Amino acid sequence: MGLLFRNTNQLIIELDRFISVIDDSALVFKEGVINYLNNDFEQFKRNIELITTLEDRADQIKRSIESDLYKNSLIPEYRGDVLNLIDKLDDIADASKENLYQFDVEVPKIPLEMKDDYIQLTNASLLSVKEVLPAVRDFFHQSDDLKSKIEKVYVYEKEVDNIAYRLKRKLFKDTKVLKFSEKIHLRYFALHIQQLSDIAKKIADILNVLIMKRM
Amino acid sequence: MILILVIAGLLIGVLIGYQDISVLYESVRKNKPERSYLALAIIAIAIFFGVVINRGGSSVFVAEMAKINDLKTGAIISLSALLVTLFMRRKFMIISISHALIGSIVGWLLFIGYEFPFDKILYIIVVWLLSPILSFFIASWILTISTKLIKNSHIHIFKMDLIFKQLTMLAMVVAAFSLGANNSANIAGVFLLPISEMNVEVLNWNISAELALFILAAISLIIGFIASQVIPAKKRSNLIFEFSTEANFSVLLSYGIVFFIFSSRSFQELLSFAGFSGYDLVPISTFHVLTAGIVGISYKKGYNIYNKEAMIKLPMNSLLTPLISGLTTFVILIIINSIFEFSNPITDNLFKSKALIEGESILTITDWRIVYYIVVIIVFIVLILLGYFIYSRMQKRLILERRLVEKQAFTLEAEKEIFVEELKYANKAGVRLKKEIDLKTAELEKFALQLVEKEKMLTQLKKVLKLLKQATGEAERDEVINEINIMITESLNLAKERELFYSSVSNVNADFFIRLSQQFTNLTESDKRLIALIKLGLSSKEIASLSNITPKSVEMNRYRLRKKLNLPPDLELSIFVAQI
């Protein structure tokens, strides 16, 4: 009889909350990086505290969603893909937290002339995350303009790669004030920021597969 | 004895329950992995009512065709069909019990030499062809409608999944009801005539033997179905389909509808009431209808789930099963005849049954016109569907083109946004760079002017020295010497500053010097210095002053440089230098 009287409202609310938490994590990451670049370490510390809380919350909600999906035997044919999607969304929160922690621990020395480049890279990376989260919501609500959002994620991700390439080139070819070890260190941070857009691209890939499966 | 014979015949019901119904149920059960006893009970009730309510449907067609008026013969026909089904399913998997049973009946009719019912055989072949075609289209239509509903409703995917699960359960109930109704013919059809006049007493309750037979048939189906859930089969069927919930729903509902059309008496009466009379209810194949539904869904979804070999095997099996079944029954009857001396007692019963059937007018003779109408209807349906296919293909192509254009538009929009962002960034960087260049150029100009000033000062010094030579008084001489001392001290820095100037010029125009060296390898350091000064926009006089040479020498140097650079006479050196 469970089949006739089951309800999915709680699960839908949980999923919406989860996506919002991921959205917030990405925003806090962006703020954190900008605060670090602007040497506003007081705000940066607050960002780190906030992102730790958000990441914990995301983990809790993720576990609850996974258990509900199995318990209610929902979407058996795409459950694997949807769980993978939720995992990848959680990776955004994880990567955001990890990266801010690395900024805090390793304290990379970013020269003034590179500041704008790092801000541009962060903005572009966040742009792809900002586009993929509504796409995920649209997938669950079966909205029409899902494909356009996925396309945009791919374009943004490509652009992030271009910006990262230019940044690294500038770092190694044009910047004279840094030692080689410092350049390597900064390259490593560019990769970390780039990681968010890579996760967004992976999420877009999963969404594409899910769209095909649902067709 | 009667009960034993009927139970022997009812084994076919257990097989149908074990294999056919469980195949349908597995597709529902995969939505909810744990076993639901309530769902099992609902399906069992649906089967029971399907058999009992529609007991006068397709089973009458089988009874009329077989003309068996003897329980023993009925049991032989039924067991023969069961044996062939078991053998064929072990070999080829997807074969129909209905096909085997009709084949057995044909074997029996050939054996007794009774008038061959061509009209009925032709009719049943048409229905066997029509039922999968109907299932194919109904399943794909239901899926199209479901998909459109899903897309336009914008209901959350979880909620929609739950709704379709509940609908699938309802479709399963419809399918179980119709399957029970249709398969009652396979189980009880051959026993119908021998017991038509009998009554049985169950717990002091007198009921007709016909009702008791159908209740037993329903129970046999339910036993088979429950057994399938209790005893796990190694490989029940390769037809358990792994689609989305809405696709499962479409297949099950199309199956239920097709079976309902060919097994429901009330639907038959409804059509008769609407003016479409003369169509008979016949047993059809679960696997063929189900397969056609799955293929319809796959076609709609663009999947290719069945290989060519399987698609050839399916119609081959439809042809082979009745043939093998007919032959087997014929051989079994000959063997029984030779062992038991057929004329006594079976032959008596056989021919008695033939006489009885002829005497009773319970048969409905199917008119050839009905077959003709059915063929016309099929052709008409095929033409409509062909038109629909062409239209839907064109629509699909249009939709694809539209999607492509939309995709390009979205990509362009996203690229535009990025370009705007980049432009902002580039503008910002450009302004900063321009400021830097302006600052450096101003510094250089200032520096150059200072040097020119110093050259002028030296010229003055020369004049002062002349004055010293002409000075007569000591005081006057000391004054001039003091003046010279100051001038020399100032000019001591000149050479140093000049070097500094040239190094500044080189630093500011580092890229320019790299390009220059790459393009003209034969230039000396003084040539490069001259080019740098020309690039700064200094006149020959100013260059002469800076280089501590005469303007004429500067002109000569410029002439030599033109030659080295291989410049045409009409091209100015300053313009050429600016373009490097």
Indicate if the pLDDT at residue A100 is higher than 90. Answer: yes
Indicate if the pLDDT at residue B32 is higher than 70. Answer: no
Can you say how many angstroms the Cα of residue B544 is from the centroid of all Cα atoms in its chain? Answer: 81
Give B117-167 pLDDT, tens digit per residue: 788 888 888 888 899 899 999 999 999 998 888 878 888 888 888 888 888
- Quick one: which H or E segment has residue B507? helix B474-508
- Flag if A151 and B411 touch (Cβ within 8 Å): yes
Q: How far apart are CA B238 and CA B288, in angstroms?
A: 13
The confidence score (pLDDT) of residue A16 equals 92
Indicate if the pLDDT at residue B492 is higher than 70. Answer: no
Question: Strand, coil or helix: what is B115?
Answer: coil
- Flag if A148 and B407 touch (Cβ within 8 Å): yes
The confidence score (pLDDT) of residue B404 equals 87
Indicate if the pLDDT at residue A60 is higher than 90. Answer: yes
The confidence score (pLDDT) of residue A77 equals 76
Give B35-68 pLDDT, tens digit per residue: 567 778 888 899 888 888 877 778 888 888 888 8
**What one-letter code names the amino acid at B198?**
M
| Strand B199-202, strand B205-208: pairing | antiparallel
Indicate if the pLDDT at residue B348 is higher than 60. Answer: no
Q: Is A102 part of the contact surface with chain B (CB cutoff 8 Å)?
A: no
The confidence score (pLDDT) of residue A147 equals 85
**In Å, what is the CA distance from B358 to each residue of A111, B77, B342, B565?**
107, 21, 21, 121
Q: Confidence band (pLDDT; 50, 70, 90) for B28?
A: low
Range with the largest mean pLDDT of A41-45, B510-514, B521-525: A41-45
Q: What is the mean pLDDT of residues B354-383?
A: 51
Chain A window 112-141: which residues touch B at a Cβ cutoff of 8 Å?
116, 120, 123-124, 139-141
Q: Name the residue facing A140 among B39, B156, B302 (closest C-beta).
A: B156
Which of A137, A155, A131 has the alpha carbon at shortest distance from A86?
A: A137
Which of A209, A9, A133 has the alpha carbon at shortest distance from B156?
A: A9
To the nearest whole number, what is the mean pLDDT of chain A? 88
Distance from CA of A49 to the nearest CA of B (A): 31
The confidence score (pLDDT) of residue B367 equals 46
**In Å, what is the CA distance from A103 to each residue of A45, A171, A172, A177, A195?**
11, 18, 20, 21, 14
Question: Would you say A55 and A93 are in contact if contact means Cβ atoms under 8 Å apart?
Answer: yes
Give B212-234 pLDDT, tens digit per residue: 888 888 888 888 888 887 776 55
Question: Would you say B173 and B46 are in contact if contact means Cβ atoms under 8 Å apart?
Answer: yes
Q: Which residue has the tokens 């089973």?
A: B59
Q: Which two tokens stand for residue B65?
A: 């065709």
Q: How far apart are CA B95 and CA B537, in angstroms?
A: 97
Indicate if the pLDDT at residue A32 is higher than 90. Answer: yes
Which residues of B are less than 8 Å from A75 in CB distance? 157-158, 161, 245
Q: How far apart are CA A22 and CA A29, in angstroms?
A: 11
Range with the largest mean pLDDT of A90-104, B147-161, B325-339, B470-484: A90-104
**What one-letter code names the amino acid at B168?**
T
Q: Is A10 part of the contact surface with chain B (CB cutoff 8 Å)?
A: no
Give backbone dihedrals phi and psi of B199, rounded to 5 degrees, phi first.
Answer: -130, 150
Q: Confidence band (pLDDT; 50, 70, 90) for A33?
A: very high
The confidence score (pLDDT) of residue B352 equals 47
Question: Strand, coil or helix: what is A3?
Answer: helix
Indicate if the pLDDT at residue B442 is higher than 80. Answer: no
The confidence score (pLDDT) of residue A134 equals 92
Q: What is the mean pLDDT of residues B197-221?
A: 80
Residues on B contacting A at a C-beta cutoff of 8 Å: 30-33, 36, 38-39, 147, 150-151, 153-162, 165-166, 169, 242-245, 301-302, 403, 406-407, 410-411, 413-415, 418, 421, 425, 428-429
The confidence score (pLDDT) of residue B494 equals 60
Q: What is the mean pLDDT of residues A164-171?
A: 89
The C-alpha angle with vertex B171 and arms to B168 and B174, in degrees rounded to 5, equals 160
Distance from CA of A139 to the nearest CA of B (A): 8
The confidence score (pLDDT) of residue B137 equals 93
Indicate if the pLDDT at residue B500 is higher than 90. Answer: no
- Residue B246: closest CA among chain A residues belongs to which residue? A214
Q: Is A72 part of the contact surface with chain B (CB cutoff 8 Å)?
A: yes
Give B61-79 pLDDT, tens digit per residue: 888 888 887 778 888 888 8
ipTM over 0.85: no
* Lowest pLDDT segment from A85-94, B5-14, B356-365: B356-365
The C-alpha angle with vertex B264 and arms to B261 and B266, in degrees rounded to 5, equals 115
Give B537-576 pLDDT, tens digit per residue: 788 887 887 776 788 888 888 888 888 888 888 888 888 8
Q: What is the mean pLDDT of residues A85-109?
A: 92
The confidence score (pLDDT) of residue B327 equals 84
The C-alpha angle with vertex B502 and arms to B498 and B505, in degrees rounded to 5, equals 135
The confidence score (pLDDT) of residue B357 equals 47
Question: Would you say A157 and A198 are in contact if contact means Cβ atoms under 8 Å apart?
Answer: yes
Q: How far apart are CA A81 and CA A206, in angstroms?
A: 7
The confidence score (pLDDT) of residue B363 equals 33
Q: Name the residue facing B157 among A7, A75, A123 (closest C-beta).
A: A75
